[in-house]
Structure 1
């Protein structure tokens, strides 16, 4: 059966007026928009997550580092072990890379995701400086606070040692003076406050890996609603907006379901590799009351998020769908 579009959706509301429980909510005024709208706190006017709104981990304290006494030590299976100060790195040829980061503990009711513009030195440029030996297969990373992780060298093709974020110096909360940025993996594979990089034939276990979490750290396909927010009251027309993300895989479809009805396709523009796909669409309900909207995504490998609100995080991350209850007041 052909899927209906949101514009074609008709809802019978004979059963709809559930008890009108009042919640503390914010009101929004929906205006027609051809362009994607900023959504606080996830997306600013530039299209990136504002630096001061970017998610932060609470599992470890922020490390304060004086860059004058910091350097990145590169050693192991290289021809010339070297130290790189922040000044040295900033003097090297730099790249700017839009990249979406997310935590492996992110889930629909606790969304830990952000999209930023990262500037720094390509990982490959550092390898060119030190001379990688043929037997090296992995890069082992260690931070100032002792945090450790690793990745295969092949997975670091597009990696960047970033020292700037959204056009400004990397803040301490995001890893100043430098952190690793790698498209397509969860953030526990991108250490902050990075201090050393050792090129090895076989890696030692890392902080998360030793606790049973995925050794690869590949991002699972996910999606989320930015608007409306949970228990929000909307006057009349509803603006559905959100994101879908599948790491370095592309998003092939995004769908919405209202009140457990059929899944309906949402138009979107494909994003560049390693970036989330944003989408939005307006919908005119036919009656006031409480509604439930769900979103799901399908990636370029044919995987579709299962219709489940609760899926285990451990050990690979979750692809649970996101659902939001909201209220229409007409």
Structure 2
């Protein structure tokens, strides 16, 4: 395992990640749903830790089993060591389909067995110093990977996003400054641009995609299948858009709703070039480099966006570098990251999470979240964010008596609308079509009480009170918290 890590770094080609993904695949849908909702952000690290432990146990058992077989066949020490390496190489390849990491891991496995001494390979009690020597090989290999700064691994896909870059676009700076100016001062609540945007996907490690060799195909029920490389997309007239995303597994007052400024081009421009017959096509299947796929109605593609920038920088790996999809007003699961194919379907199909029992391909539910209850001053301050997808938020109402009476909270000004990337900063204006707003309410109270919040959509529709858990269609309901002045 240590040898494979030296080659792969923390990528999907590492054998421990392969084991973790296998465990994830084998989990029953009910257990998977409970884990997503109950463990939250801790789920993936725990899965990876479990995968690592299983990997160590698996390869230790393989080594012991191989040595027993070679002893029974009266093989030499060299033949036994070679056999351990071959078996572990084959097992690693079966889990990862990555030849070089599997080979290096197998060589290291054989080396560990060999350094255990003659006693290990010939079946006698193994002296402590030999066990320590074997363990030292594994620890040293991991240490070497750390010293060399191995993270993406050798030959893992070429250059990734420039993580040292800074924003130097005056228009982007103006847009981000506008968002900061329009953010409300709510203690403990981040502003209108998320400083830590949530990440949810099916992977224990993010895929490493080389932008230079990456391409996007438009296939299926089209007049002519078409393929675009990154230069084709980045060379088109670009726009900046504020867009919010909400995970379908986000509890009603959870933390998996965020907002960013994205840079990219309209999806429909590329699809139209391939020639789509609206009468023949019913649905769209978006496919990703990591094998992920999601299906949704064709009409939802209108207004869709191919984003390759985030907050003025390259799209981060965790958000789909080099290109991801943004589908207006829909749950996060169809905003596919690491996008490689747009397939136009003639008949409905089942997406990845739908096979796991989720049904999050539709529009998001409206919500007003309460993420701050500050009682440190002379008055009480409550606040948070409100989001209704493309339906928009026109108001947030707050009740300080458990829902008996309501008061309209202060609401942040809408974020600016989409703007061409070559526009003058003075041209910033309009309203974002699919972005959250902040709200804040300050009042006096000296007794314990329940605060309830609800959002009002742009057309006057009040957020429904009906409560529903996140699984399987996304959480709904009013948010309420107890306040103790």
Asked if 1:183 corresponds to 2:328, the answer is yes
TM superposition shift of 1:60: 2.4
Asked if 1:295 corresponds to 2:446, the answer is no
Which structure's relative contact order is higher, taking Cα pairs within 8 Å and 6+ residues apart?
1
Write the mapping of 1:269-288 to structure 2, written as runs, cut at 5 A: 271=414, 272-285=432-445, 287=446
Stretch of structure 1 that moved more, 239-248 or 254-263? 254-263
Name the Cα RMSD after superposition: 2.5
Q: Who is 1:168 aligned against?
A: 313
SS in 1 for 2:389: coil
Asked if 1:86 corresponds to 2:230, the answer is yes
Distance 1:41 1:180 in 2: 30
SS in 2 for 1:154: helix
TM-score by structure 1 length?
A: 0.77
Higher strand share: 1
Contact 2:389 2:435 in 1 (8 A): yes
Higher helix share: 2
Q: 1:41 to 1:178 in 2, by over 3 A?
A: farther
TM superposition shift of 1:158: 0.6
Contact 2:253 2:369 in 1 (8 A): no
Asked if 1:36 corresponds to 2:178, the answer is no
Query: Could you list the per-position Cα deviations for residues 246-297 of structure 1 after superposition, in whole angstroms to 9, with x for gaps in the alignment?
Result: 1111334422122425232224367442111322232233x3x644322112
SS in 2 for 1:67: coil
Distance 2:352 2:328 in 1: 20
Unaligned runs of 5+ in 2: 1-180, 415-431
Give structure 1 regions of 4+ aligned residues with deviation exceeding 4 angstroms. Answer: 38-42
Distance 1:49 1:205 in 2: 32
Write the mapping of 1:114-263 to structure 2, written as runs, cut at 5 A: 114-134=258-278, 135-214=280-359, 216-228=361-373, 233-260=375-402, 261-263=404-406
TM-score by structure 2 length?
A: 0.54
SS in 2 for 1:126: helix
Contact 1:42 1:114 in 2 (8 A): no
Contact 1:107 1:320 in 2 (8 A): no
Asked if 1:68 corresponds to 2:212, the answer is yes
Distance 1:133 1:58 in 2: 32
Asked if 1:304 corresponds to 2:304, the answer is no
Contact 2:188 2:371 in 1 (8 A): no
SS in 2 for 1:55: coil
TM superposition shift of 1:244: 1.6
TM superposition shift of 1:298: 3.2
Distance 2:234 2:287 in 1: 21
Q: Who is 2:106 aligned against?
A: none
Distance 2:314 2:186 in 1: 24
Contact 1:234 1:327 in 2 (8 A): no
Query: Could you list the per-position Cα deviations for residues 181-208 of structure 1 after superposition, in whole angstroms to 9, with x for gaps in the alignment?
Result: 0111000011111111111212321012
TM superposition shift of 1:215: 6.2
In our comparison, the structure showing a higher alpha carbon Rg is 2
Unaligned runs of 5+ in 1: 1-33
TM superposition shift of 1:35: 5.7
